[in-house]
Amino acid sequence: MWKFLKFNICVVVTSVLDIVSYMFMLYVVFKSQCNTPLPESALLSLLGIRYKGYLYSYLISTSIGYIAAYLINRKVTFKSNINPLYSSVLYAALAIFNILVSSYLGGVFGTYIASHGISSPIIEMVSKFIIINIPTIWTYPLERYIIQINKKERQVQKMPMIIASDLDGTLLKSNTDISEENLRSIERLAQKGAKIILLTGRTLYEVPKELRICKGVEYIVFSNGAGIYHREKGIIEYRTISNETAFKIYKVLNEYKTFIELYTNGAPYVETADFSQESFEYYKIDSQFIPEMYKSRRTCDSIKDLIFDLDFKTEMFDVFFRNQDERSECYERLKREFDEIEITTSMTNNLEIMLKGINKGSALRELCQIAGFDIKDVTVVGDSKNDLTAFNTEAKKYAVANACEEIKALADKIICSNDENIMSYIEREAV
């Protein structure tokens, strides 16, 4: 719309220039020839032109107007960077056609007013303005989409864009909120054909509602890959730890000082006895994440009972440690005693335990197979160690400025921080 408005402003400006030039030519330069008949010619007869003054005035003033319009529209309206020879040749052909049309209309009208003795400067100006603007009907779309092309814009329209973004520390701000700027950018990118994937260690329930209902978000990979959710189809993949294995893991974890969260049925559960501000502080849970804990965690009397409840499926354990030595010891023990699990981390004091083969990278590969995406067309954006498996794929990698060093080392590009609206950054980069 803004281009169309600028184009029409240009039309008005060049029309004024055209009219002023025409009036000067007609009443000053070629005044003596306004009643001088032209020689007989089939072309001139077809155009309806009878007098030299009108012919010369129309041709010169219209040429001035078109040259000015070409330069203004190329530099200001469309900011075209296409080869100038290409655009000038096409524009010249268009201009010749438009001049012939304008000359025909002008010649017919000029002959009419001259033969009826009603010629005046006002009538000439009004008629000229109308006549030279008739070609605008077809000139704008031809210039916009053929003659004055912006090569960068054309490239973006053809570029496949699939964005797989982590949430915490990446798409979400440090206070765990999703900004309006990011939401609007997601919607605009989706409208342009981009596919948006959320790639998170959170449960499905923990994903902010604004993102779950956002029409621009097509897929959500949740619980570090345990499940894949489609906006319209619901959960399309879901792989969990068996009850027996989950209980054995729980027993090992209870031998250490731990704050245990059980990710099950799309939600994170914590035992009521442990869910307090004192526990959050004792286990050094990031203060910026505590409001999210109060907002999204569900409490239960016993994690053990949930594990053995057949209606609940264990997606993941998220375990916080008070002591780093105990964290390291527990990690080594779990790796040694369990072949069927996979362990990662997103914070300095936690472990995230999933079924073997379940991680963000494997889930992303599986999603690409389901959706028919080429993983090489995917841009992964992340910040922490649980994003490493996604960064070890063939996808393009963007690390946010606040990412850990391991992620930065694998990144193709380091972009803005999570507090600077990463989707807005990607949108600006795309256009």
Q: Is 284 left (phi over 0), alpha (psi -120 to 50) or beta?
A: left
Q: How far is 142 from 127, CA to CA, in rounded Å?
A: 25
Using alpha carbons, list the distances in angstroms from residue 63 to 98, 104, 129, 383: 10, 15, 14, 59
Cβ–Cβ under 8 Å, residues 69 and 12: no
Q: How far is 410 from 397, CA to CA, in rounded Å?
A: 7
Q: How far is 240 from 26, CA to CA, in rounded Å?
A: 86
Question: Which pLDDT score, from 0 to 100, does residue 156 have?
Answer: 41
pLDDT in tens, the chain (431 residues): 677 788 768 777 887 887 788 788 878 888 788 788 877 765 555 555 677 777 787 778 878 877 888 888 888 887 888 888 888 888 888 878 877 776 666 666 666 666 666 666 666 555 656 665 677 777 778 887 888 877 654 444 444 589 999 999 999 999 999 999 999 999 999 998 999 999 999 999 999 999 999 999 999 999 999 999 999 999 999 999 999 999 999 999 999 999 999 999 999 999 999 999 999 999 998 888 899 889 899 999 999 999 999 899 999 999 999 999 999 999 999 999 999 999 999 888 999 999 999 999 999 999 999 999 999 999 999 999 999 999 999 999 999 999 999 999 999 999 999 999 999 999 988 75
Q: How far is 302 from 193, CA to CA, in rounded Å?
A: 46
| Contact residues for 34 (Cβ-Cβ < 8 A; gap 6+) | 26, 51, 52, 53, 54, 114
| Contact residues for 207 (Cβ-Cβ < 8 A; gap 6+) | 167, 198, 200, 220, 222
Question: Which pLDDT score, from 0 to 100, does residue 120 have?
Answer: 63
Q: How far is 347 from 352, CA to CA, in rounded Å?
A: 10
Cβ–Cβ under 8 Å, residues 301 and 272: yes
Q: How far is 230 from 127, CA to CA, in rounded Å?
A: 60
Cβ–Cβ under 8 Å, residues 49 and 111: yes
Question: Which pLDDT score, from 0 to 100, does residue 116 have?
Answer: 65
Helix (H) or strand (E) run with residue 196 in it: strand 195-199
Question: Which pLDDT score, from 0 to 100, does residue 5 have?
Answer: 80
The one-character DSSP state at 229 is E
pTM exceeds 0.75 = no
Instruction: State whether residue 295 is helix, strand or coil.
Output: helix
Residue 365: how many other CB atoms lie within 10 Å: 19
Structural domains of the chain, ranges and CATH numbers in brackets: 2-150 (no CATH), 162-239+359-430 (3.40.50.1000), 243-355 (3.30.1240.10)
